[in-house]
Chain A
Amino acid sequence: MDIVLAITVGGLYAAGIFMMLRRNVVKLLIGLGLLSHAANLLIFTAGRLVRGRVAVIPAGETQPLTIVADPLPQALILTAIVISFAVLAFTLVLIYRTIQTLGTDDLDQLRATDT
């Protein structure tokens, strides 16, 4: 299972970076989204993949009896998903406004503030 997720994460990173290298701003946004998904999946994989065991320590014990998946990374991802959702929503509006104001979706045309 780990290897499948590892390949998925790598694929997502590759696809994300590829999309960001395109000239269209909308593709840039898709690339950013893929990149944050890749990071989230990476953390998920880091938290160990174990099926069907509850990460609850029984009463009277100080550590889990069997190997369980670490619940903390999953909590981290939840936070990260919420944040990336908000940020991507903002970026979407930004891109919409930019296309409206500048009349182009080509990143190569956005040169006015360059140095």
Chain B
Amino acid sequence: MNAQVAVVLPIVLPLATMTVLLLTWKSIVAQKVIGVVGSTLLLMSATALLWLVARHNILVLQVGSWPAPFGITLVADRLSSIMVMLAGLMAFAVSVYSLATIDDRRVAFGFHPLVQLLLMGVCGAFLTGDLFNLYVWFEVMLIASFVLLTLGGERGQLEGAIKYVALNLISSAVFLAAIGVIYAATGTLNMADLALKLRSFPDQNVVSVLAMLFLIAFGTKAAVFPLFFWLPASYHTPPVAVSAIFAGLLTKVGVYSLMRAFTLLFVTELEFTHNLLLLIAGLTMVTGVLGAMAQSEIRRILSFHIVSQIGYMLMGLALFTPLALAGSVFYIIHHIVVKTNLFLIGGMIEQRFGTGLLAKSGGLYRSAPVLATLFFLAAMSLAGVPPLSGFFAKMTLIRGGLEAERYAIVVAALVVSLLTLFSMTKIWTEAFWKPAPVDAATDVRLGDQSWTDRFFLCGPTILLTTITVGIGVMAGPVMDAALAASEQLLDQNAYIEAVLSVGSRESTRP
């Protein structure tokens, strides 16, 4: 297979799957089967891309063979290929889980095509090398997420959706304005070309203003302090499968864009931009975890933990050393797997009691030992207990912080980690250890569930828990991959050369 085809496959495959799904709209069985097959294909193509990028370093595809700064460029470097791989994995896990949890009415209204559209947007955002194209992928992803969020039209969903839609549209408008200003300033939108031009831009104050515009645009999508309010207001409203894929992928697209922008484009005024990022990272961590402690419903607690953990990812980016950045990459890998898993497990708990309220649940340790084990492993990994994946992610970040001699953020990270453990213990004692309250809905669903449903529910969570444990046990290879990705991020010249030389080779004619 031509290596460059692999770059476009993670975008084309979901599109093709979506088309087929739209053609088989009327058959619910076909929707389910094709949805899972499409996600499996995406996972396979993402694995192939990861393998190819590991061999070739950076893969570049000039769409329509237009040379580099003029056409749209798709770039797959190590970070993008890792992100696409994770997107494929989450797509697979969530589409299997959705077979047992998404009701036929939602399937009939196009749940599966929308998931594929969302995946196309997410993978496109990870792979593009052009700012305006990134905006388009953001919008593809957003419109799919809008519909997924409101699909079903329950009260809470509509209310949450208004906040989600309004704040995300504001961030899109800021992003669009930022694109306009950056084009006016430099005359290009290709990221590699921009990196070159911004480096030698005469007025660095303008570059700082641009950096702030992009920080607000991407920061809202990534749910950083103080722009995160849409997330805890909406993530607990849709069906669990939808929450889980949102939790795993959407904010991470924002984080990825921040990482791309602040390692490639805005690296001239580090003193200003990255110190601000560090401050934001600390505040995001602390406010997120404090918000989580005040909640008493499983998915609301988990939603606030997403915010808190975005802070960790930004911390590595803000410290801007190879080790800290590798910590960020490691943290993203760990976070996407664990967070999606926890939402899926939370969904199983909600299904048993008919509510996510901790006060109305209990006794699961006795009645569902497998579920208890799965939750325990995922929750401890989230809190960063060794030898699970979260421990190595946090340790790398904290080592990075100590080496950069930024002690305040290290203290914040450690305290937040402790509070995360506290918050996970709260779910554990309430839902698992405490005896079930007398008025709680008993495990009515347990007997009704067919073995296929149980397999569709437990299969993905067992897979993701195994990966979490696997990342912990085999931290070496994952750490190597994260380090390679971070070194590649810091070597802007390699990226610029890879993108622009592919174009210039074809555009040598006068």
Interface set of A (CB-CB < 8 Å, partner B): 20, 25, 28, 32, 35-36, 38-40, 42-43, 45-47, 62, 70, 72-73, 76, 79-80, 83, 86-87, 90-91, 94-95, 97-98, 101-102, 107, 110, 112-115
Are B142 and A110 in contact (CB-based, < 8 A)?
Answer: no
Min distance, Cβ A102 to any Cβ of chain B, angstroms: 6
Give CA–CA (A94, B172) in the complex, Å: 18
* Known interface pairs A87-B139, A110-B159, A110-B163; 7 further A-B residue pairs with C-beta atoms within 8 A, sorted by A's residue number: A20-B166, A20-B170, A73-B183, A80-B176, A94-B162, A101-B155, A115-B295
Indicate which residue in A28, A73, A80 contacts B166 across the interface (CB closer than 8 Å).
A28
A114 to B174, CA, bound (A): 25
Q: Does B64 contact A (CB under 8 A)?
A: no
Is the pair B153, A113 in contact by a Cβ cutoff of 8 Å? no
A43 contacts B146, C-beta separation under 8 Å = no
A-B contacts, 29 listed (Cβ < 8 Å): A20-B170, A25-B162, A28-B166, A32-B166, A32-B169, A36-B169, A36-B173, A39-B174, A39-B176, A43-B176, A46-B180, A72-B183, A73-B183, A90-B165, A94-B161, A94-B165, A95-B162, A97-B158, A98-B158, A102-B159, A110-B159, A112-B155, A113-B156, A113-B160, A113-B234, A113-B236, A114-B233, A115-B233, A115-B291
* B159 adjacent to A115 (CB under 8 Å): no
Taking a contact as CB atoms under 8 Å apart, the answer to whether B177 and A42 are in contact is yes
User: Of residues A47, A94, A110, A112, which shows the largest number of chain B Cβ atoms within 10 Å of its Cβ?
Assistant: A94
List 5 tightest A-B contacts by C-beta distance, closest first. Answer: A46-B184, A43-B180, A39-B176, A35-B173, A39-B177
* Given contact pairs A36-B173, A115-B291, A43 touches B153 in the complex (Cβ within 8 A): no
CB pair A91–B169 under 8 Å, yes or no, is: yes
Which B residues between 289 and 312 are near A, CB-CB below 8 angstroms? 291, 294-295, 300, 304
The verdict on B147 contacting chain A, using a C-beta distance below 8 Å, is: yes
Interface presence of B136 (CB below 8 A): yes
Contact with A along B451-486 (1 / 0, CB 8 A): 000000000000000000000000000000000000
A62–B507 Cα distance when bound, in Å, is 13
> On chain B, which size bracket covers the interface?
35 or more
Instruction: Say yes or no: A39-B291 contact (C-beta < 8 A), given A97-B153, A113-B233.
Output: no
Q: Is B502 an interface residue (CB 8 A)?
A: no
Contacts of A97 in B (CB 8 A): 150, 153, 158
B510 within 8 A of A: yes
Contacts of A114 in B (CB 8 A): 233
With contacts A87-B139, A90-B143 known, is A62 near B158, CB below 8 A? no
Q: Which of B143, B300, B510 contacts A86 (CB 8 A)?
A: B143
Q: Are A46 and B183 in contact (CB under 8 A)?
A: yes
- On chain A, the residues within 8 Å of B177 by CB distance are 38-39, 42-43
Name the CB-closest residue of B to A28: B166
> For A43, what are the chain B residues with a Cβ–Cβ distance below 8 Å?
176-177, 179-180, 183
By a CB distance below 8 angstroms, the chain B residues around A112 are 155-156, 159
Which residue from chain A places its CB closest to the CB of B182 in the assembled complex?
A46
- Whether B237 is near chain A, meaning CB under 8 Å from some CB there, is yes
The answer for the CA separation of A97 and B150 in the assembled complex, in Å, is 10
- Which single member of B155, B159, B165, B176 contacts A91 (CB below 8 Å)? B165
Q: Indicate whether B227 reaches chain A with its CB closer than 8 angstroms.
A: no
Q: How far is the CA of A9 from the CA of B195 in the complex (A)?
A: 28
Chain B residues with CB under 8 A of A20: 166, 170
Which one of B136, B232, B236 contacts A79 once the chains associate, using CB atoms below 8 Å? B136
Inter-chain contact B181/A42, CB cutoff 8 Å: yes
Q: Which chain A residues border B143 with CB–CB below 8 Å?
A: 86-87, 90
Which of A25, A39, A101 makes the CB contact (< 8 A) with B180?
A39
Residues of chain A within 8 A (CB-CB) of B132 are 76, 79
A residues within 8 A CB of B304? Answer: 115
Q: Whole-angstrom distance between the alpha carbons of A112 and B162 in the complex?
A: 12
Asked if B162 and A98 sit within 8 Å, CB to CB, the answer is: yes
Whether B232 lies near A76 (C-beta < 8 A) is: no
Contact with B136, one of A32, A83, A91 (Cβ below 8 angstroms): A83
Partner of B153, one of A42, A76, A101: A101
Q: Is B160's CB under 8 angstroms from A94's CB?
A: no
Interface residues of B in 180-216 (CB under 8 A from A): 180-181, 183-184, 187
Inter-subunit contact A94/B183 (CB<8 Å): no
Question: In the complex, A76 Cα to B132 Cα: how many Å?
Answer: 8
Task: Give min CB distance, A2 to chain B, whole Å.
Answer: 11
Establish whether residues A98 and B159, one from each chain, have CB atoms under 8 Å apart when the complex forms. yes
Closest Cβ–Cβ distance, residue A29 to chain B (whole Å): 9
Question: What's the Cα separation between A112 and B232 when bound, in Å?
Answer: 12
Whole-angstrom distance from the CB of B95 to the nearest CB of chain A? 24
Question: For residue A72, which residues in chain B have a CB less than 8 angstroms away from its CB?
Answer: 183
CB-nearest residue of chain B relative to A32?
Answer: B169
Which residue in A32, A40, A46, A62 is a CB contact (below 8 Å) of B170?
A32
Return the chain B residue nearest A17 by Cβ: B170
Q: How far is the CA of A86 from the CA of B136 in the complex (A)?
A: 13
Say yes or no: A90 contacts B147, CB within 8 Å: yes
Residue contact B170 to A102, C-beta cutoff 8 Å: no
- A87-B139, A113-B234, A115-B233 known; A102 and B158 CB under 8 Å? yes
